[in-house]
Amino acid sequence: MLLAAGARYARRLCGRGAAAALQGCTGRNCARDVSTSWSPVGAAFNVKPQSHLWDLLGERRGLFGVPELSTPEGFQVAQEEALKKTEWLVERACSTPPGPQTVLIFDELSDCLCRVADLADFVKIGHPEPAFREAAQEACRSIGTMVEKLNTNVELYQSLQRLLDDKKLMESLDAETRRVAELFMFDFEISGIHLDEEKRRRAVDLNVKILDLSNAFLMGTNFPNKIRKSLLPEHIQHHFARDGSHLIIDGLHAEASDDLVREAAYKIFLYPNANQLKCLEELLSSRDLLAKLVGYSTFSHRALQGTIAQTPETVMQFLEKLSEKLSERTRKDFEMMQGMKTKLNPQNSKLMPWDPPYYSGVIRAERYNIEPSLYCPFLSLGACMEGLNVLFNKLLGITLYAEQTFKGEVWCNDVRKLAVVHESEGLLGHIYCDFFQRANKPQQDCHFTIRGGRLKEDGSYQLPVVVLMLNLPHASRDFPTLLTPGMMENLFHEMGHAMHSMLGRTRYQHVTGTRCPTDFAEVPSILMEYFSNDYRVVSQFAKHYQTAQPLPKAMVSRLCESKKVCTAAEMQLQVFYAALDQIYHGQHPLKKSTTDILMETQEQFYGLPYVPDTAWQLRFSHLVGYGAKYYSYLMSRAVASMVWKECFLQDPFNRAAGERYRREMLAHGGGKEPMLMIQGMLQKCPSIDDFVDALVSDMNLDFETFFLDSK
């Protein structure tokens, strides 16, 4: 399954016409001099973009510098070129004797398809013009059809099988090449190509059915519910949108101060929808059938192949031990929230599932003066970008430069392009920063790979290209873009993904950068959150945009301490979600309905009561992209916590630790088993107990004491 690296790990990968236009400096022979089109990164983000002469007079380059993509019709040209090259590569793969060249050809075939599919995958949701979005959508469909065709190409499968069957030949290959060959085979067999013709046809049909059900379920998770206005008290009706005689409930309104608003939203938004319930049941059942058809006892066993956890048994052991360690802390958190609710609403003081987000926020505000507007003046976007620049320079010898874009290269004039430059290796890749709000832009922060890195046949390195998408406010005439602490943390998080892509120097694009197991992919991004909450790092850049006064240490300490308020209850909720995900993807047929399972799991792993006539699982959108892998957020955080404490807590700018981090973790992408990378970084093989202890100990960390002691 040649497009599976992107699909398996939910990371977008990218674009072919890019081969010529994005080539630029391709690695080994690249000049070390600073380009005249580069400028300091901080200043570039604190000023509005300006038109340049070449925007008006220069040649139109096309999106990402790809000439064909100067118009929407260029996607047709790009996909035709990719499909033509694919046919040639398939013939080459089938006629080449088994050996390392086989893996190289398969990787080039994967790259050829991913370039168009993943570039189109970004454009279809990120481009503001409908014509570009529609053309990209059609390109995705066209490439998808080719992938389905290749997944059933027995001759192509057999050419890889011959290599894997030759044990002596496999032993002669280096570890990364062996792993990539095995990953290609794993992806092939997921589609059932190793089965007889009848079973293979069933596997293809199930894959198509699962894709359709996934899309339908995902749409249903956001679909609003309606209720007659007369059924809700008049004094809360203004909180909801109106549609004639009905009110539209399109979310949980978790931050609303009125308890009745939150209760009404929870009960109405989560009221079961029969079609959505049937869709979920069919999705879970189809996944189970496919897993059994291709040789796994459950879908979870199939999904966890190659991850840190490896098996569902290990995941449940992790979740159960974590739940046990959290239980007393969670009970105290609930008591604290119960007390606050009793204080504010004595007539209706029982703590319910719609209460924790609001009352934990009230407690934070009461204990710590952490109003975001107090922090914003110290966190201009330009200052934060310069802070990242300082951090990367000290840790990794990397400098971020703002690079001038050409006409047609970006999809919106406020998109900035960064060159990532190493002090001795030169240009490592490019990051396109799509940071600002605009109409119809997806309301999510995310990272897209537009081109994966790989070693090319001529010995040069294909440099990676990524997009970071945020939703920040625009600068105004009077002040630059100012970030809340949460926005700043999100920026650091997404830049962690970008650095993983930039520094993942793998031979094969199939395992480049973030193309790694899900429970490892979030480690670099979560680790960056620890840096963003350390005063020694923050003090390097957090200065008032008008007076240059530094952000007081006490304010950072208060912010860090406030984040520990009710964290046990928040983590317990994540444990509940992860356990529910495992049970849904475990043994089938399920012993009870998905709602009954939800009720039992909530009682065992959370503590707050199930609310009758609700079905939260029907809004659980992560069941699509993170099926059987929702635990990954918790496990990645555990690993990031251990790396932070072992390697960076004493000195967040430690160059030796930074180089080790690059060498042991970032450089390999998905080309090395994740536990081996963790072991190389920590100099030990962590146990489940180590992961649990890392998460729990984060709740005890006294940043203020550490900062004072380390002065």
Annotated catalytic residues are 494
- Residue 661's contacts (CB-CB under 8 Å, 6 or more residues apart) are 395, 643, 647, 681
Contact 426, 393 (CB under 8 A): no
H helix or E strand, kind and range, residue 139? helix 130-151
Instruction: Name the residue among 431, 442, 448, 469 with its Cα closest to residue 514.
Output: 448
What tokens were used for 24? 């630029």
Closest CA relative to residue 107, chosen from 229, 234, 2, 208: 2
Q: Where are the alpha helices (DSSP H) in 563-647?
A: 567-584, 594-605, 622-625, 632-643
The answer to whether 179 and 673 have CB atoms below 8 angstroms apart is yes
Residues 6+ apart with CB under 8 A from 436: 412, 414, 470, 471, 472, 473, 474, 481
Report yes or no: 482 and 383 within 8 Å, Cβ to Cβ.
Answer: no
The tokens describing 151, both together, are 């997944």
Paired tokens of 546: 């008008």
Largest Cα–Cα distance in the chain? 78
Residue 139, both tokens: 């390109």
Contact 286, 278 (CB under 8 A): no
Name the nearest CA neighbour of 570 among 368, 426, 364. 364
Give the end-to-end CA distance of the chain in Å, rounded to a whole number.
54
CA dihedral over 643, 649, 650, 651, signed as positive or negative: positive
Which helix (H) or strand (E) segment holds residue 108: the answer is helix 100-126
SS3 content of the chain, % helix, strand, coil (to 5): 60, 10, 35
